Amino acid sequence: MLSSCGGQKSANFRFYMSTPIEVRSLERLPKGGCMIIPGRLDAAQANELSATLSDRKITWLVEETTTLPEELQSYLQLSGHSGAAFSKFDESLPDLGRNLEPKIEGKGILIFIPGVTNCRPGAPCRIPSDVLRALCALGLPIAPLEVSVPEETMLSVENPTKLPAAILTFGKTIPKGQATIARYREAMLFCAEESFSSREFLNGSLAMAMLQGLKKHSGKHSLFDGTDDSELPFEKILGAAIALSKEVKLATKKNRVGIILPPGRGGMIANIAVLFANKVPVNLNFTASHEAVRSAIRQADLDKFITADPFVRKVPDFPWPPNRDLLFVERILPQIKKKIVKWVLLGKLLPAPLLARILGIGKSKGDDEALLLFTSGSSGEPKGVPLSHRNLLANVCQFGRQLDLPQNSKLLGCLPLFHSFGSTVTLWYPIIEGLDLVTYPTPLETKRLAELISQHQIDLLLATPTFLRGYMRRVDPELLSSLSIVVTGAEKLPDNLARSFEDKFGILPMEGYGLTETSPAATVNLPSPEEKDSLPVIPSQRFTSVGPPLPGLAIRITNPATDEDNTIDQSGIIWMKGANIFKGYLDRPELSAEVIDQNGWFKSGDVGRIDDDGFLFIEGRISRFSKIAGEMVPHETVEAAVNQVMGLDNETERKIAIVGIPDEKKGEAIALLSTITGPALEQEALDIRYKLMDAGIPSLWCPRKIIPVETIPVLASGKLDIKGCEELLQNH
């Protein structure tokens, strides 16, 4: 049923804005008629769109249950264009689409007007999925239009007067009769990536952003070190980092400097000092094997390392370089105390641009290397991952704006600084955005961490599922009552663990997803907005998913067998593109070419899909699949089922792991590494098989045999050590 939504002659509508609205990729709009579906639209944006398409006959289209802002409704009624309405409940939407076709004859354009919804900032699409489904069912050619408002997702150190009021980016038109939610969402993600990646701040310097953040938030925010309950205000961090940066410059001519420190004031000052010295910090993994550490030092070409005496004594089995190559931060800082005081005072007096010019800060920027991390080496020798200023500024912006924490929030920093999440989220993010940071050198001492959470009333906890189990065993629920968000990553969050944590502490852990190569955050679940005023809610959390992509990250899915593109709702290999994606591995061009294509798309190695509401579901690493009789069997799915039937969901340590073993008939078979075994392994394997089949697991997926082991190899992050598992199989 069509109905009018306006049609009076145009009024003299003007919108006064200090910055313009930009319309991009207009060449993608077909010459013939189509339906434009913007992810969001306000009155000023609608006016700009109308002016841009002044040579086309425009008809506004609304869904009958939609609530429009008063200003937008007034504009539509006075715009001089006709209108139509439809109902998402209409059972004959294809017939309705045929009735609308005259509106797009010749060069006619239908422009859908999204209504008001409750959503988090940065969402590229603010149209409820049931409305999207109805729009696709109309059967008309669709031109996706992504509308971003840079001010909503800008860093606190950006200048809002230099940002456009909005960026309207057209996507490739979906032909008549081929529209699906998946195709529309994929096009919107592509457009959002184009828009975000064009932002000027990405050409800047991480060091300059840190300088600006320390100055801007000086006097308001501090680092609280949980080892001795000391407080270090941002202005003192700035002075110490500047003074130490001069010592770093004198100590080495090399471009990179090693850092062997846990989270805390020393680790924070050391990393900023290296950046201020126009060098690249390399936080080394002190939990890795000697072989992996030496490999990282060799690959990074390091000759100097910042550390501390107490930490050297605490980790005696680390392959420490000779003393002449170590810069002991707790020895150096007292020796340069007068210089620190001088720079604290100058830091307060001088504006950031002048201070940067005096110190030479910010020469390295944009696509230049800002940080070097190494992968965990779960499947081989650690790979060097150079992250650029662009990568890190993008990810701080993407993750920080999506979190949207209030200014008085406090963050717990206990993840290692060599861990990509510990680096981006607990080093750069709180300084740039202005948050209090409470640090502790290890994520394992959950009882002490819980005391710090209670003492400082911390809002955000970042952890892995392995560390969450420690809270489950040792912590009084009242100590975590201040938490508003708990985010986990690095490994799959078991459903039972998440629900048990919620039952005990009253807060549901939310899973995120990322890789060192993505700087690292790619997707994250966050609390959905509360329902109010009967408005539709655009969800930002879906249990068992890893959340929607962060603003500015595009995703596509390919078939694992053929490498051809799937639609994003079909399971396959996950590819990502965005300003936070690295450019390639350190001195490994052949390996880089395997994961990054000519258009800058990064092949994650993970298998997954995106649902109709935009949530990404991870089904496993491609390296953790077995191809059995032509079928891809996901190890992690089988592991979760085995944990459930064996009652191991709440165990704090891994007891089992699924591995693939050679099989003459089917190519591969599934085996179970287990630290829990009975006297009759064959009977035990048979019992588990029957239990799994009763739980709905296909017979092909069930373990053929059990391999007894003393321990399951696990990395410091909690991830399964795949290389270690392979070595166990070779020795069995």
- Compute CA distances 278 → 208, 356, 386, 530, whole Å: 11, 11, 15, 45
- Dihedral angle of Cα 19, 21, 27, 30, to the nearest 10 degrees: -170
The answer on pLDDT for 18 being more than 80 is no
Among 272, 264, 258, residue whose Cα is nearest residue 327: 258
State phi, psi for 223 to the nearest 5 degrees: -105, 125
Least confident of 281-295, 415-429, 699-713: 699-713
pLDDT at 364: 95
Going by C-alpha positions, the residue among 417, 375, 419 that lies closest to residue 262 is: 417
Q: What pLDDT score does 653 carry?
A: 77
Secondary-structure breakdown of the chain: helix, strand, coil percentages, each rounded to the nearest 5: 40, 20, 40
Of the candidates 287, 312, 300, the residue with the CA atom closest to the CA atom of residue 377? 287
Residue 414 DSSP SS3: coil
Determine how many CB atoms are found less than 10 A away from the CB of residue 146: 26
Token pair of 338 as six digits: 């007068």
Nearest partner of 329 among 388, 386, 272, judged by Cα = 272
Which tokens go with 160? 């809002």
Widest CA span in the chain: 87
pLDDT digits (tens, 9 = 90+) for 637-671: 888 889 888 888 767 678 889 988 887 777 788 88
pLDDT number for residue 377: 58
Structure tokens of 276?
A: 């201020």
DSSP at 382: P
Cis-peptide into 520, omega within 30 deg: yes
Q: Look at residue 402 in the predicted model and tell me its pLDDT.
A: 86
On whether the CB atoms of residues 571 and 557 are closer than 8 A, the answer is: yes
pLDDT given at position 276: 98
d(CA 680, CA 702): 18
Question: What are the structure tokens assigned to 536, written together?
Answer: 């539709």
Average pLDDT over residues 173-177: 96
Please state the separation of Cα 214 from the chain's center in Å: 24
Burial class (CB in 10 A: 0-12, 13-18, 19+), 182: buried
The CA dihedral of 368, 369, 370, 376, to the nearest 10 degrees, is 150
Q: Assign 630 a pLDDT band (cuts: 50, 70, 90).
A: low
Provide the pLDDT confidence category of residue 9 given band limits of 50, 70 and 90: very low
pLDDT computed for residue 378 by the predictor: 52
Residue (of 730, 678, 683) closest to 708 by Cα position: 678
What pLDDT, in 10s, does the model give residues 208-254? 999 999 999 998 999 999 999 999 999 999 999 999 999 999 999 99
Q: What are phi and psi of 708, to 5 degrees?
A: -70, 135
Cα dihedral across residues 103, 109, 112, 113: positive or negative: negative
How high does pLDDT run on average in the chain?
Answer: 91
What is the Cα–Cα distance from 120 to 527, expressed in whole angstroms? 9
Number of other CB atoms surrounding residue 516 within 10 Å:
21
* Token pair in block for residue 456: 């400082």
Question: Is residue 60 a contact partner of residue 76, using CB atoms and an 8 Å limit?
Answer: yes
Position with higher pLDDT, 724 vs 230: 230
Average pLDDT over residues 390-416: 92
pLDDT over 70 at 12, yes or no: no
Residue-by-residue DSSP string for 492-558: ---HHHHHHHHHHHS---EEEEE-GGGSSEEEE--PPPPP-TTPPB-----TTS--PBPTT-EEEEE
Strand order from edge to edge, sheet including 521-524: 230-233, 222-225, 436-439, 410-413, 460-463, 485-488, 510-514, 521-524
d(Cα 603, Cα 682) in Å, to the nearest integer?
A: 39
The DSSP H or E segment spanning 85 is strand 82-86
**pLDDT-derived band of residue 617, with 50, 70 and 90 as boundaries?**
very high
**For residue 306, what are the β-bridge partners?**
259, 327
Domains of the chain: 21-198 (no CATH), 206-601 (3.40.50.12780), 619-731 (3.30.300.30)
Percent of the chain with pLDDT over 90: 71
Per-residue pLDDT of 545-565, as tens digits, reads: 999 999 999 999 999 878 899
**Terminal-residue alpha carbon distance, the chain:** 70
pLDDT band at 405 (very low <50, low <70, confident <90, very high): confident
pLDDT of residue 215: 96
Would you tell me how many other CB atoms lie within 10 Å of the CB of residue 575? 21
pLDDT in tens, 320-373: 999 999 999 999 999 999 999 999 999 999 999 999 999 999 999 999 999 999
Tens-digit pLDDT profile for residues 451-463: 999 999 999 999 9
pLDDT at 704: 84
Instruction: Locate 396 and state its tokens.
Output: 């701080």
